Structure 1
Amino acid sequence: MTQTSTGRAIRLEGISKTWGDTRALHDVSIDIPAGSFTALLGPSGCGKSTLLRIVSGLEQASGGRVLIGGQDVSQMPADKRELSMVFQSYALFPHLSVAENITFGLRTRKVPRDERAKRLDRVADLLGLGDYLSRKPAELSGGQQQRVALGRAVIAERPVCLMDEPLSNLDAKLRQTMRTELRALQRELGFTMIYVTHDQVEAITMADQVVLMNGGKVEQAASPRALYERPATPFAARFIGTPPMNVIPATALGEAGAKLQAQAGRRLLAGLRPEALHPCADSALRLSVTGAEYLGADALVQGRLGVAQVVLRAPGHALPAPGETIPLALAPRDLHLFDAETGGRIPPSDPASLLVQAGIPAGPTGAAAPFIQHEDH
């Protein structure tokens, strides 16, 4: 199928939404490039679905503007915004066939029969639905129903497509398959995608841009790599990554942490990803092991740095026992510092120098050295 639509840029300016005394969205501003895939990510109740409905025209913003292709559509009804939408429930008509479900929107817009048939053939071929066009939704699997919902959106050939957790009803294996297919479909057709999800794996594997939301505000908008490698706040640091980043008071690093805080002149939080901590015999930074979770190739080791609880990712073949003490080092690029009062990220101008001054050994940048292997392992 050749590219049938060209995406349009979307700009959200100061979007707010209130219901009585409840404020669902606070001054949300986002730029979404034409033809890109943007994921709205965040926990339940953060405002991501409300924001999507405002873009679609199904909800009216209390303040701010929605621009699509440079045109202010804030007061425009949903059916005039030239976009399609896929819902979590698929919203298929149970009494209609697959073909009738896919072409329903074209029929209501009185697209000629011949044109409907041509588009249906293209979409059915693209989504592998050719053998199912005469079936009813109840005769299909969950993945096939999802393809029908996607087909109904794609056949409209609109420049913008909105999706609200469309894969959440599928099992894990099928979700992985559909992620790949959906991303390939978006790239092939070139439409602009806004995709709502609470699943960080969906967001970081599919999107060009991830907009992380928290409490009705944008916590951080960045590429998946930037969001993982340079989280802007402790919330972003903890939300992205499995297991999440350890965010602890800098004083948990002992004398080194005290030096860091003294240099900054404020209370700090230190962010340490589980995979960033490495054993190092000469280090004064020591983890007291409280437990370990075996995952095969990897293990997650729980322990204490001072009074702070942290998790360390280690090789699965070398599990330390509870009560052991492990000296740790940290690669300079893996230290994340946040202001404990404001939550803002503090970018050290020279991380290596900062670590040396603070007395924290710089660990290897490649694979972690194994723990001492015990006889019973």
Structure 2
Amino acid sequence: MTAIETQQGRAIRLAGISKHWGETTALSEISVEAPAGSFTALLGPSGCGKSTLLRIVAGLEEASGGQVLIGEEEVTGRPADKRDLSMVFQSYALFPHLSVAENIIFGLRTRRVARAERMARLAQVAELLGLAPYLDRKPGQLSGGQQQRVALGRAVISQRPVCLMDEPLSNLDAKLRQTMRTELRALQRELGFTMLYVTHDQVEAITMADQVVLMNAGRIEQVASPHDLYERPATIFAARFIGTPPMNILPQSALGETGARLAAELGGDLAFGMRPEALRPDPQGLLEMQVTGGEYLGADALVQGRIGGAEALMRVPGQALPEQGTALRVALAPQDLHLFDAGTGRRIDYPQPASPMARPGHPAGSSGAMSPLSNPKEP
């Protein structure tokens, strides 16, 4: 990549942001920070408030309460053009009657940047994004991916310390989205600006972001790195939203005596989470899965079944897909069992060595541990 000058990324801090439309609450007390120079994804289902939050940061929407800070400056009451940021929209927002070059430098022209500097920046951005051969074309003569690069070029050429993106890849086909994910992440790292990126696609968030802000119904569900969001979901919603297929959530009753024993140890009504790839066929397993179907996916397969009357999925090697109607014993490792409060949906952390379900002589959590859902009887 060709180096291009950019300002140092600035942190974005949101403190108690709320948004109401009459009796409808779109955002409720949102407080979060996107560190300077980081890639932060706002992730969540449609209608959760992530785009509204982005528009409040951009100054395109007025908050009902709270503060927006960029760097050390509060910008809550400033208009959009005074916030020192750039934005890329889902629709790209290109001018169809202008050439690629004119679209990219449009903002510099309106800011009355000298022509020599405009042309120098344009040359750098065009080389950086592979747009040099297309500068004289109109947007209608470009592919979707090329139009996306033009929109990115207009943001990059502004040399702003903060860039906001609202589902910029949603209009592209799957293969092109994958390519653009890689290019966009590399671009952000190369230039060092702070990225706030809205998406409903967990793959985009997990593969691109340093930090994910998972939203649900106008509130923050969890703020974490992609790794922690997957490995330690804070709520049942987070556990079910992240992962393809999502985590199995089984009621306490589905685990019979095992569930009752853990509930007595920890107190309260529990829900048990286990990812499909964590489950495995095991003659020693305390769980029994009744196979109801399956999907062959090539290298692996998804087994559909019921555990204690609850629907569950298990990922197995493709050649090991069992027949419908088969009864399997199933186990999983201690670290792969997630516990949640069934009432609040919040995660419960518990000391794995206290689990009463390890094979005698092999404490749970040790290198020789059996699954906490393995039969304690010796084979």
Q: Offset of 1:283 from its aligned partner?
A: 2.2
> Which residue of structure 1 lines up, in the alignment, with residue 318 of structure 2?
316
Q: List alignment gaps of at least 5 residues for structure 1.
A: 365-377
One-letter identity of the residue aligned with 1:217: R
Pairing of 1:7-46 with structure 2 (within 5 A): 7-46=9-48
Question: SS of the counterpart of 2:10?
Answer: coil
> Which residue of structure 1 lines up, in the alignment, with residue 180 of structure 2?
178
The whole-number CA distance in structure 2 between the counterparts of 1:4 and 1:24 is 34
Task: Please say if residues 348 and 354 of structure 1, whose CA atoms lie closer than 8 Å, have aligned partners that are also in contact.
Answer: no
> Which residue of structure 2 lines up, in the alignment, with residue 159 of structure 1?
161
Question: SS of the counterpart of 1:100?
Answer: helix
Given the alignment of the two structures, is residue 142 of structure 1 paired with residue 144 of structure 2, yes or no?
yes
- Deviations along 1:12-56, one digit per CA (max 9) or x if unpaired, are 001000000000001001011000000000000000000000000
Pick from 354, 364, 370 the counterpart of residue 362 of structure 1.
370
Pick from 192, 205, 208 the counterpart of residue 206 of structure 1.
208
Pairing of 1:320-359 with structure 2 (within 5 A): 320-350=322-352, 353-356=355-358
Say what the alpha-carbon RMSD is for the aligned residues: 1.6
| Range moving further from structure 2, 2-11 or 65-74 | 2-11
Q: Offset of 1:255 from its aligned partner?
A: 1.2
| Range moving further from structure 2, 335-344 or 88-97 | 335-344
Pick from 241, 247, 251 the counterpart of residue 245 of structure 1.
247
Change (3 A) 1:128 1:354: farther
> Which residue of structure 2 lines up, in the alignment, with residue 111 of structure 1?
113
- Deviations along 1:54-74, one digit per CA (max 9) or x if unpaired, are 000000100000000011100
Alignment size in residue pairs: 364
Task: Please say if residues 254 and 285 of structure 1, whose CA atoms lie closer than 8 Å, have aligned partners that are also in contact.
Answer: no
The whole-number CA distance in structure 2 between the counterparts of 1:351 and 1:35 is 40
The whole-number CA distance in structure 2 between the counterparts of 1:351 and 1:288 is 30
Pick from 29, 47, 60 the counterpart of residue 58 of structure 1.
60
> Which residue of structure 2 lines up, in the alignment, with residue 133 of structure 1?
135
Task: Please say if residues 50 and 198 of structure 2, whose CA atoms lie closer than 8 Å, have aligned partners that are also in contact.
Answer: yes
Task: Please say if residues 13 and 29 of structure 1, whose CA atoms lie closer than 8 Å, have aligned partners that are also in contact.
Answer: yes
Runs of 4 or more above 4 Å deviation: 357-361
Structure-2-length-normalised TM-score: 0.94
- Deviations along 1:165-223, one digit per CA (max 9) or x if unpaired, are 00000000000000000000000000000000000000000000000000000000000
Change (3 A) 1:232 1:105: same
Task: Please say if residues 36 and 191 of structure 1, whose CA atoms lie closer than 8 Å, have aligned partners that are also in contact.
Answer: yes
Structure-1-length-normalised TM-score: 0.94
| Range moving further from structure 2, 123-132 or 342-351 | 342-351
Question: SS of the counterpart of 1:312?
Answer: strand
> Which residue of structure 2 lines up, in the alignment, with residue 368 of structure 1?
none
% identity of equivalent residues: 71
The whole-number CA distance in structure 2 between the counterparts of 1:7 and 1:143 is 26
Q: Offset of 1:342 from its aligned partner?
A: 1.2
> Which residue of structure 2 lines up, in the alignment, with residue 369 of structure 1?
none
One-letter identity of the residue aligned with 2:339: L
Change (3 A) 1:251 1:79: same
The whole-number CA distance in structure 2 between the counterparts of 1:277 and 1:174 is 33
Question: SS of the counterpart of 1:93?
Answer: coil
Task: Please say if residues 103 and 116 of structure 1, whose CA atoms lie closer than 8 Å, have aligned partners that are also in contact.
Answer: yes
One-letter identity of the residue aligned with 1:88: Q
One-letter identity of the residue aligned with 1:266: G
The whole-number CA distance in structure 1 between the counterparts of 2:359 and 2:233 is 24
- Deviations along 1:121-164, one digit per CA (max 9) or x if unpaired, are 00000000000000000000000000000000000000000000
Q: Offset of 1:284 from its aligned partner?
A: 2.5
The whole-number CA distance in structure 1 between the counterparts of 2:160 and 2:285 is 59
Given the alignment of the two structures, is residue 92 of structure 1 paired with residue 100 of structure 2, yes or no?
no
Q: Offset of 1:289 from its aligned partner?
A: 0.5
Change (3 A) 1:354 1:4: farther
Q: List alignment gaps of at least 5 residues for structure 2.
A: 373-379
Task: Please say if residues 68 and 74 of structure 2, whose CA atoms lie closer than 8 Å, have aligned partners that are also in contact.
Answer: yes
Change (3 A) 1:159 1:354: farther
Q: Offset of 1:278 from its aligned partner?
A: 1.3
Pairing of 1:231-270 with structure 2 (within 5 A): 231-270=233-272
Q: Offset of 1:327 from its aligned partner?
A: 0.6
| Range moving further from structure 2, 75-84 or 274-283 | 274-283
The whole-number CA distance in structure 2 between the counterparts of 1:227 and 1:220 is 8
Q: Offset of 1:349 from its aligned partner?
A: 1.5
Q: Offset of 1:226 from its aligned partner?
A: 0.2
One-letter identity of the residue aligned with 1:270: F
Question: SS of the counterpart of 1:18?
Answer: strand
